[in-house]
Structure 1
């Protein structure tokens, strides 16, 4: 039963709704996805933990959006952990998995591997970007780095930008199997008040000491009672229940919210996936003249590019790229 739960629910996001509380949510478990994301890089453990957290957030948030192409989460700070970035690509066909990729940029000299990762982001911003494809105007929402975790930043984003009370409960870390194999594993839950219940802030005077909105600023008294009840129940969850594999997400929802009439919907599988290609590299260089490209050409007479997400290395002939490219450019790799 334990192994069956692990196989059935790893790398999935399960949508659900609590009818009595007027709350919707997601349960996510990531296993192979995290390993695939992290094996592309050689990050220290403190950076790996930040990538695990933001990847889990991306899986939970991405599944809530009717996405035509891409959702991105970006964290930029002035600390040692300078950039965290993820992309979530919704399924192009029914039954296909969503795809996630992620990377980090950090200052190795300034990084303290014994200090919490979030503290090493410093001052900066947390952003959610939605790109619905060609001909569609991109959306971007930004909130400051605050609250003690990336999950707290995401909660503030939804309160500020979407005016939706939202709660994330996440757990992640390295897991050791009985055979001694070690891998990254993460589990999390997202609660969100139904959009129709909270379209506007309750008052113009709401907000915390930094002027940021919280759930209590967005809900009426009855709605706040329902929201608080759901959150109190979520407070009782244990880390092992979140990451499994002994408790299936459906069973976990019954354990936590049986009095709230939980309903589940079809689970969404998630996998690692990168969209980089030689064609995309060529397109990004197409704005440069031959003179500009001279500054990008190596001593070997090549232009090279590396994908920050998957590490793939591209080598191009300068004569075949840019505004003055000659015929004979390479095909996609």
Structure 2
């Protein structure tokens, strides 16, 4: 495989369908985008791993939704790793890349570098939020933290909240090719039963903590197809998933050649942040002059840093809040 071929699949999500099984899916590869996400911060290894997994899930899930603006994933827990948040912003025009960003909040004093990362989230919830724009009501779905990974949390969410049997196979980590610098790479496959008018549980929930699982929703006449596709998916190894020497199209043939895979146009993905000076001003517009005074530093400025990209904003306090005395350009209001 040539370098050009490898680069063609970097930072992409490839939709596909298994015609024999009536199952849809996505293959995602993140490298430069994931490196950009993680280079904005100096996370400890357990936090880095969870952010990488969450970013990959976000790319896979975001591409399945007819999105006008933004999909967000959040995990909140009572452990040392308190929050992981990601955004997937839809392309502004056909052919342009979707934008993805992520960040985490953690308690450095409680974090154990050698302990399993997922266990350090503790009890909490996994949430998906869909915001289709200013003229639409945002949607939010929540499910408890379950299983042993963020991908199992996502599977539980789709079973519980969307009644869509879903499974993931993911791989991520630092990789280095001869003559190249070490960098983050991630890759994964998502399988999902094609949405139908209605799906009902076939029995009592069998998932952790009484939650529905994918198997609970599979109709008996489709169980064999679902099980066969997932058995084949589990044969994928880490190097096949993250590439770069196995193209996603080749991976699908290796895994599912008897399932009649059919691919669609790939979606490019890149790191991007939607923060701006105007957005920060808007977020502060609800505060009074007294509130703004409490935010003002000894140097007489109000500052803010974007948690996603680290960009620093610096404001004249008299230009902020609903009692602002000056316009942003410094002229009297």
Give the TM-score band, short-chain normalised: over 0.9
Alignment of structure 1 residues 136-215 onto 2, 5 Å: 136-196=136-196, 199-203=199-203, 205-215=204-214
In 2: Cα distance, 1:44 partner to 1:215 partner: 33
In 2: Cα distance, 1:161 partner to 1:327 partner: 47
**Match in the other structure for 1:55:** 55
| Cα displacement (A) at 1:135 | 1.6
In 1: Cα distance, 2:179 partner to 2:104 partner: 31
| Cα displacement (A) at 1:116 | 1.4
1:295 aligned counterpart, secondary structure: helix
| Cα displacement (A) at 1:207 | 3.1
Note if 1:267 corresponds to 2:271: no
Assess if the C-alpha contact under 8 Å between 2:29 and 2:242 holds in 1.
Answer: yes
Higher mean alpha-carbon deviation, 188-197 vs 116-125, is at 188-197
**Match in the other structure for 1:307:** 306
Alignment of structure 1 residues 82-161 onto 2, 5 Å: 82-161=82-161
1:17 aligned counterpart, secondary structure: strand
1:56 aligned counterpart, secondary structure: helix
In 2: Cα distance, 1:271 partner to 1:164 partner: 28
| Cα displacement (A) at 1:47 | 0.8
| Cα displacement (A) at 1:115 | 1.1
Distance 1:58 1:330, change over 3 A: farther
Higher mean alpha-carbon deviation, 26-35 vs 190-199, is at 190-199
1:195 aligned counterpart, secondary structure: coil
Alignment of structure 1 residues 72-83 onto 2, 5 Å: 72-83=72-83
| Cα displacement (A) at 1:6 | 1.9
| Cα displacement (A) at 1:317 | 0.5
| Cα displacement (A) at 1:330 | 4.4
Distance 1:180 1:8, change over 3 A: closer
2:199 aligned counterpart, secondary structure: coil
Assess if the C-alpha contact under 8 Å between 1:198 and 1:218 holds in 2.
Answer: no
The one-character-per-residue Cα deviations of 1:59-100 (angstroms, maximum 9, x if unpaired) are 000000000000000000000000000000011100000000
In 2: Cα distance, 1:293 partner to 1:66 partner: 39
In 1: Cα distance, 2:197 partner to 2:165 partner: 10
Distance 1:306 1:209, change over 3 A: closer
In 2: Cα distance, 1:195 partner to 1:208 partner: 21
2:274 aligned counterpart, secondary structure: coil
The one-character-per-residue Cα deviations of 1:207-257 (angstroms, maximum 9, x if unpaired) are 335211112211211111110010011111111111111111001101111
Alignment of structure 1 residues 254-333 onto 2, 5 Å: 254-330=253-329
Assess if the C-alpha contact under 8 Å between 1:278 and 1:330 holds in 2.
Answer: no
Could you list the runs of 5+ residues in structure 1 that have no partner in the other structure? none
- Could you say what the CA RMSD is over the residues aligned between the two structures, in angstroms? 1.3
Assess if the C-alpha contact under 8 Å between 2:146 and 2:208 holds in 1.
Answer: no
**Match in the other structure for 2:232:** 233
The one-character-per-residue Cα deviations of 1:131-188 (angstroms, maximum 9, x if unpaired) are 0011211110111111000000000000000001000000000001211511000000
Assess if the C-alpha contact under 8 Å between 1:198 and 1:219 holds in 2.
Answer: no
In 2: Cα distance, 1:56 partner to 1:25 partner: 14
In 2: Cα distance, 1:2 partner to 1:198 partner: 46
TM-score normalised by the chain length of structure 1: 0.97
Assess if the C-alpha contact under 8 Å between 2:253 and 2:261 holds in 1.
Answer: yes
- Equivalent residues, number: 330
TM-score normalised by the chain length of structure 2: 0.97
